[in-house]
Amino acid sequence: MNRLTSEQAQILFECGGFIILTSLPESSEFGIDGTYVPDYSPASLLVACSNNDHPDSFHLTRRFSGVKFLTPGIHLISWSPAAASSTAGQSAIPLRSGLIHVFKPKERIVLSYDKESETVAETLGSGELISDDHLKTLDAELAPYPFEGLDRWKALTRHISQDVVQTVLGPSERVDGMMQAEGEEDVEDGKECRARSATGHQTMRFPQFRLKRSWRDGAIGEEVTRYARDKSWLLGDLISSPLDSHPRALLGHLELAFILMLYLSSYSALLVYKRLLLLFCRSSRILVSPKDYIATADADKAVRGTYIALVHTLATQITSLPDSAFETELPEMDVYYLDEIKSLGNNLSTSLEGWAESEQGQARQAWGKLRGCAKDKWDWEIGDLDLTPNRLFDDDDEEDEGGEFAPVVVEI
Identify the domain boundary among 103, 120, 151. Answer: 151
% pLDDT > 90, the chain? 58
Mean pLDDT over residues 332-351, rounded? 97
Least confident piece of the model among 4-18, 286-300, 367-381: 4-18
The sign of the CA dihedral 294, 185, 254, 304 is negative
Mean pLDDT over residues 16-31, rounded? 84
Identify the domain boundary among 126, 151, 176. Answer: 151
User: Domain tally for the chain?
Assistant: 2
Domain region containing 226: 162-378
Answer yes or no: do 225 and 290 share one domain. Answer: yes
Q: Give the residue with greater pLDDT, 60 vs 385.
A: 385
Answer yes or no: do 202 and 134 share one domain. Answer: no
CB 69 within 8 A of CB 182: no
Answer yes or no: do 196 and 315 share one domain. Answer: yes
CATH of the domain at 368: 1.25.40.550
* 388 is a domain residue: no
State pLDDT tens for residues 279-308.
999 999 999 999 999 999 999 999 999 999
Q: Residue 399: is its pLDDT beyond 60? A: no
State pLDDT tens for residues 231-256.
999 999 999 988 888 999 999 999 99
Answer yes or no: do 280 and 246 share one domain. Answer: yes
* 45 is a domain residue: yes
What is the pLDDT, as a whole number, of residue 83? 67
Answer yes or no: do 99 and 170 share one domain. Answer: no
Answer yes or no: do 249 and 185 share one domain. Answer: yes
CB 3 within 8 A of CB 47: no
* 1 is a domain residue: no
* 156 is a domain residue: no
What is the pLDDT, as a whole number, of residue 39? 42
Categorize the per-residue pLDDT at 192 as very low, low, confident or very high, splitting at 50, 70 and 90.
very low
Answer yes or no: do 249 and 202 share one domain. Answer: yes
What is the pLDDT, as a whole number, of residue 241? 87
Answer yes or no: do 120 and 235 share one domain. Answer: no
What is the pLDDT, as a whole number, of residue 50? 35
Mean pLDDT over residues 37-58, rounded? 42
Answer yes or no: do 224 and 196 share one domain. Answer: yes
Can you say how many angstroms the Cα of residue 322 is from the centroid of all Cα atoms in its chain?
A: 15
What is the pLDDT, as a whole number, of residue 348? 97
